[in-house]
Structure formats: structure tokens, C-alpha cells
Structure 1
Amino acid sequence: MASYHHPDAAPDAKKDFSKDMSYGDYLGLDAILTAQHPRSPDHNEMLFIVQHQTSELWMKLMLHELRAAIACVADDDLPPAFKMLARVSRIMEQLVHAWDVLATMTPSEYSAIRPYLGHSSGFQSYQYREIEYLLGNKNAAMLKPHAHRADLLAQVQRAFDSPSLYDEAIRLLARKGHAIDATERDWTSKRDYDAQVEAAWLAVYRAPQAQWDLYQLAEELVDLEDAFRQWRHRHVTTVERIIGFKTGTGGTAGVPYLRRQLDTVLFPELWQVRTVL
């Protein structure tokens, strides 16, 4: 772990750092810290670029953890999955707070850089789209923004074609003896509410000690969706604060489009269980 200020971290005057891997070498800082190329003369564009680049780095870690968690759930190996899913939720909390930094940009400041952004837009983030797909929000139309890059399209397509985290959780419920008929389906479609899935989760919540692993998985999933909702909500609020109801740079309706996304429920049966318990 990096030690920035500890007195014991003072460099040895006799050590030749040119022969060893340095902190910057290990982290690839030359590439990271020279990846900011403002296109406008405005001072505030650096904030806009760093905000989105750091978000993409956090999303890279989220994908790393989500893919591994899905594999663990599919293999009935839940303890590592719990840690991975908890980490994803904490990353989403980081991203929520990141909007606080971007919110320091005023409408006037954003207006100065907007003409230089072209048609670039956050909805073109292929990593974000993979996250949505891995969490089960499947929408074939959102493959189109990546069609110009065959490599990126293939990457997003894999997530689109694969079982989501919740698909694997439902398969696990069935393997644990819960009566669920539709465990195999078209993975490219968004799941519909299933009364059998709700009944299975209800049984878990009514006897948590008897099925503690499933109970903990359920709570990790709810925690994850809770954090994701907060991330989305903070996003739309920040966008409205900065651009109001202008059309998005990528051609979307802007705030109205983002608000519609707030109605998306990823794990409906887990939320419904809270009403019927």
C-alpha cells in the first residue's frame, strides 16, 4: 500500500531507483496522467475529463468484480461472491460522490466547453453498457452506439448474450430446491416478474437461518441495486443542475431520458418480498 507521508518512507539516498520498478512504473502513471487532452481553451474542461476518466476506471473494477461474482454464483461458491458484490456496491458509492465534484461546474462553465464535445455522450460508454447488461437490464438498441468498433461491439455483445447476475441467482435458487420452472430462457431479453421467484425469496426471508447463504445473497443484491439507484439518481440531478432540460450531446432527450431510467427495477421479486413479508 502506498505510503505518501510516513517519515519512514523517505528514500534511501544510496538506492538506484532507475534499476527497479518505481511507483509510477507499476501504476502506468505516464500513460494515465498524459491521457487528458482538453479541446477547448476553458479551464473547467480538465474537471470534465478527469471526472469521466476516473469513472471509467472505477467501472473497469466493477466489471472485474461482477464477472467474477457471476462465475462464483454459477459455481455455488458464494462466500467470494459476497465480498465481490459488496465491493461493487462500495464502488457505486464512490461514483455517487464523484458527481459532487462535477456539480461544482456551473451551467456557464459547461456551456463554454460543450461545443467542443461533438456528439460524445455518456450513453456511449461501453463499460457502463456492460454493467447494465450484467445486472440484467438488456436492451438490444443500446448495442448500436458501439457498432462502429467491432472489438467493442463483441465485448458488449458477450455481456448481452450471457446470463445476468440475477439469472444466475435464480438458477441457484432452483438448484437449492426451490420450485422455479423458468431457469433457462432467452438471456438477451429483460426478465419479467416471476411469482415463483418471489415465492422462493419469500421462503428464504421467512427462514433465514435455514438458508443463510441465499439470505445473504439476497441482501447483497438489494444493497447493490440500492447503490445503483443512488448512482443513477445523482447522475440525473447533476445533469439537470448543469444543463437543465437541454438535449444531450449524443442526441438523447437528456434529463427526461435519464429520469425514465430511474424506473428500471433490476431485481423486482426481492423488492416485492418486502411488502408481502
Structure 2
Amino acid sequence: MSGAVQAEYAPPTGPDASAPKRRRWLLVATVAWALLLGLLAWISVRDDAPTVREQRSLAEAGPRVDAAVGELVTASGPAVLELIPARVERGCRLTPLADGATLTRDVEAVGAAGAERELLEGIADRLPASWRAGVRLTPDGVRLRADAGEFVSVEGRPTADGRVRLTVETGCRPVGTGYTSAGGASAGGAGGAEMALAGALRALGDPADTAPELVTAPCPGGGVARTARSATGGGAATAATALAPLATGGPVLDTPEAYAYRTGGVVVLADTAPGHPHVSATTPCP
């Protein structure tokens, strides 16, 4: 065995000697920058006024949504079936540090069974040109798509034979003071919708003395479209038999889950679909 002593390696003195130190400083700087950005985002969400349209609150977006519903009612014309109550869904994320909410309103329209695309195309043709409305076949089926302005989107889709649903949505917004539903106060006292609803409920044997739920939308040419709704427990077969004598002409809709008819200028719908059976009466835009 050799008696030679092996010399120890000398510590590196070249360009790589400071690499670990630089990596540590880079990591510290990155973490500090991320913390700073998070702090600035939190301050901005807390203190800054909205600077872009999609940051407008539900209270600010509400009138645009209500006006869009009125445009859809007008474009649907005699096909309007009913206005659906507004929905506010909380829990969406504006930023990692701020929650928001989405406002959605719907209009139901009815046409001939099997002609849902033609119904959507007719509605799209009558919407304002600035909405750039169009109907396309998508992987999810036939869809109407439009832009109502101020980052409010519109979509239409078939829901059943002869029925389509037109949906107006804000996307995720700051809640602010919240959305005030366009209720019936602006439309005055009881009108044709309420009277037609009361007559339908009496024919179905349901109590008609409770105040109905009112859903309205401003019409672009003035006036108000109005739906009065009330829960019911009647079946579809019973509805067709009980309501047919009230109809002006034949039924507008007659399916296993729904029966609709016109009486004067009002469309009455008895919908017995599972989950939300109800009767509604709707007066469209003038």
C-alpha cells in the first residue's frame, strides 16, 4: 500500500462558485414579488372603482339584462310563452381573493314541434343588428348566440318539442348592492295576465286567492311584458281537459308535460314538468 497522502480537493474558485447563492437570492426575490402582487390585487379589489365593463356590479348590470329580456320578448312576438324568474348564483371567483355572482334571466318561446331551429333563426333575425345574433349547429346542438352589449351574453337552445329557452347572462360580477328584480310594481295593478291566471287556476281547482309571482321586462318600444306565475299540483292530462274550454282557438302547446293556450292577448301555460309544476299567464310586448 502506498504511503502517499492524497491531497484534498480545493474549494471551487471559478464562475460557478456563487451559483447556489444566486439561486437562493432568486428564490427570495420571486417569493417577494408574488407576495407584492397579491397585496396589490387585494388592495385593488378592496378600494378601486371598476375600470372595465366586466367589473360592473350586478346592480349596474341589472338594467342591461332586463332590457335584453325585453328585446327577446319583442323578437319572439307571438311565440313568447313565459318570462322565467331571475336567478342570482353566488360563489364564482372574480380573483383569487374576491367572490362574485352571476345574474341569469330566461324567456321561454314556443313554436311547431320539430321546427325549433327555425324558431331560433326567426328570433335572431329580429334582434338588434348590433347584437350580431346567429344560429349555428354546435357539438351541443342548435344554439342561438348573441352579444347584448356591456358584456351581457345571450344564448338560445331547444328544450323540448316546439320549445326553446332564451338565456341572458352577466357572467361573474361583483355583487355590489345586488340585483333588484324587475317585479310587477312598475307595471301597475292587476292586469290581463293576473286575471287569465286566476281563471286557469279556478278551472284546475287550485286556489286563486294567493298573490302570484310577477316577472316583468321593459319593452324596447315602451310598455312592459309581464308574467304572473303560481304553483300547481295538477297533472298534464287534467290541465288539457280543464283548460281547453278557456282557449281562443286550439292549443298553443299540447305535450305530456305542458298545455298552453291563448285567451285574448294572453298566453296561459300549465307546466307539469317534474320539479317545478306551475301555471303562468303572460302578456307580451305591445
Fold-level similarity (TM above 0.5): no
Greater strand fraction, Structure 1 or Structure 2: 2
- TM-score range relative to shorter protein: under 0.3
Q: Which has the higher contact order (CA 8 A, sep 6+)?
A: 1
Greater helix fraction, Structure 1 or Structure 2: 1
Structure showing greater Rg: 2
